[in-house]
Amino acid sequence: MVCTMAFLRALISTARMLRHSPPLSAGLPADDAVLLDAPDERLSPALVAAALGDHEPAAKLLATTRDAADWENRDRYLGRLTTFARHRDGWLTDWLAAAPRDPDALLVKAELAVRHAWESPARAERLHEVGPLITAAAEADPRDPVPWRLALDHARGSHATHTAFESLWEQAVRRSAHHYGCHVAALRYLSAAWYGSHRECFDFAERAAEDALPDSLVQALPVRAAFALLLDTQALGRTTSVLEERIDAAADTAIRLSAAYRPGDPWPAEVRNLLAYVLLARGRWADALDQFTLIGQHATSFPWSSVSDDALGRFLDARDGARLQVASVTPLRDRAGRGRPRGHYA
């Protein structure tokens, strides 16, 4: 009888998937329409020009963010331009030759040097060597918090003490109290993988989220703490009910943040990708599928590259998995008052 019932449940689940999977795909772009880390309309021309050896659009873009004190986009664009420069840096060399004291060129130079140092087997030693480049970028525009985000990353890799890190953190938040990148850098320093613990991460992330401005990405810090815990949990095979409650609370906070942005908006795309991963790990299939619908075509390397060498493939597999899981628990017949299952463990 037990085997018969299990067989019947499997048949029903399969029937549900066959019936409901196509409608659930309606709000999702086709696999070949999904792009990994697609640049926005401001960044794209700068990358195209850099590929042709022209640094002027990149210089103008970063100068515009600095003039407008648009620190969040400045940090984001810096990351993408630095990634490009790791493979093709001729345009950056020309930029530095033409304007050796340009605050924006110095910032890209410093970020690139930090990344190279992080990749070196002699990481701590190499990071100490690039410290003056970060100082030069910070001094080039004292208002800019982004060099201080670099300094926080640098401090983590060079084994800075808590006291030294706190001093850098004070400088960072003095320039921008709610800068997302600086908060992420602090969260990494406090992580169990470095100089803290999962509880310290959650404590810091939850306090920062409570103090964050409306619709600020800082509200997503707890879900980043949750992601770090989930990775360790998968490796170690254990967690606690208290931490699981904090994971679900972090996901709920991030869901509310995601709802504040329009579907397909590239700005919160990384947060939505991260949130989808956490929701899947918690078995919250319907909530995860909602996030994949809001993500649209904007897949991001993080978090999928943390668990797979094929970030885009992992994203698409996760999206399909969420869709099939939701389909498998959707009743074969519509019932009054019922629709697509939602909420925890739907």
Report pLDDT digits (tens) over 53-78: 999 999 999 999 999 999 999 999 99
- Indicate the DSSP class of residue 145: S
- Indicate the DSSP class of residue 31: G
State the average pLDDT over residues 230-248: 77
Give which of 247, 297, 249 is closest to 272, Cα–Cα.
Answer: 297
Indicate the average pLDDT of the chain: 89
Q: Which residues fall within 8 angstroms of residue 250, CB to CB, at 6 or more apart?
A: 202, 205, 206, 222, 223, 225, 226, 278
Strand partners, 298: 35
Distance from C-alpha of 78 to C-alpha of 111, rounded to nearest angstrom: 8
Distance from C-alpha of 223 to C-alpha of 109, rounded to nearest angstrom: 31
Distance from C-alpha of 202 to C-alpha of 248, rounded to nearest angstrom: 12
Tokens 């790791």, residue?
86
- The pLDDT of residue 301 is 97
Q: How many CB atoms lie within 10 A of CB 184?
A: 20
What is the residue-wise DSSP string for 148-213?
Answer: HHHHHHHHHHTT--HHHHHHHHHHHHHH-TT-HHHHHHHHHHTSTTTTS-HHHHHHHHHHHHHHSP
Where does the pLDDT of residue 148 fall: very low under 50, low under 70, confident under 90, or very high at 90 and above? very high
Cis amide prior to 263 (ω within 30 degrees): no
- Exposure string over 218-238, b if 16+ CB within 10 A, otherwise e: bbbbbbbbbbbbbbbbeeeee
Q: What proportion of the chain, given as a percentage, has pLDDT over 70?
A: 86
Q: How many CB atoms lie within 10 A of CB 345?
A: 11
State the average pLDDT over residues 315-342: 73
Distance from C-alpha of 24 to C-alpha of 293, rounded to nearest angstrom: 10
Where does the pLDDT of residue 233 fall: very low under 50, low under 70, confident under 90, or very high at 90 and above? confident
Q: At residue 299, what are phi and psi to the nearest 5 degrees?
A: -75, 145
Alpha helix segments (H runs only) across the chain: 2-24, 43-51, 56-67, 71-87, 90-98, 103-119, 123-140, 146-157, 162-175, 180-189, 198-211, 221-236, 241-259, 269-281, 285-295, 301-304, 311-329
Tokens 């009743």, residue?
331
Report pLDDT digits (tens) over 266-275: 999 999 999 9
Residue 215: pLDDT over 50: yes
What is the residue-wise DSSP string for 201-222?
Answer: HHHHHHHHHHHSPTT-GGGGHH
- The pLDDT of residue 17 is 44
Q: Which residues fall within 8 angstroms of residue 205, CB to CB, at 6 or more apart?
A: 187, 221, 222, 224, 225, 250
Q: Which residues fall within 8 angstroms of residue 10, CB to CB, at 6 or more apart?
A: none
Give which of 228, 293, 242 is closest to 265, Cα–Cα.
Answer: 293
- The pLDDT of residue 329 is 74
